[in-house]
Amino acid sequence: MAEKLVGVKRQTALKELHGWVEVLERDAIRKTFHFPDFPAAWGFMSQVALLAGKMDHHPEWFNDVGRVEVILYTRSVDGVTAKDVEFAHRLDQMAPPHDR
């Protein structure tokens, strides 16, 4: 079972991420990615969907024209785990340069 990141472990992990912030209402992290248009945003979402299947991790996300907001947390522990941080790193690698 995954271990929920708390305290120093959590703060250290979050400092390694660019542009990811904690969600105030719950134990999760969030980032908004920006694209020039809807097809580019949809392409990113398609890549993320394939990665999610491979990693058995399922983000919450919202799409509006050229914007994709992603929220990550691990349901089994109702919080942020190392798996979420790894997934966030992988999304950043796939993101446009201005969102890395």
Query: Would you list the domain boundaries of the chain?
Result: 7-99
Q: Does 1 score more than 80 pLDDT?
A: no
Q: Does 98 score more than 90 pLDDT?
A: no
Given a contact cutoff of 8 angstroms between Cβ atoms, the answer to whether 9 and 73 are in contact is no
Burial class (CB in 10 A: 0-12, 13-18, 19+), 36: exposed
Q: Of 47, 53, 54, 55, which Cα lies nearest the Cα of 84?
A: 55
7-99 CATH pick, 1.10.3720.10, 3.30.1360.20, 2.40.110.20, 3.40.50.300: 3.30.1360.20
pTM for this entry: 0.91
Q: Does 100 score more than 80 pLDDT?
A: no
Residue 20, pLDDT score: 95
The pLDDT tens digits of the residues spanning 64-91 come to 999 999 999 999 999 999 999 999 999 9
Given a contact cutoff of 8 angstroms between Cβ atoms, the answer to whether 12 and 93 are in contact is no
Q: What are phi and psi of 22, to 5 degrees?
A: -75, 145
The pLDDT tens digits of the residues spanning 22-60 come to 998 999 999 999 999 999 999 999 999 999 999 999 999
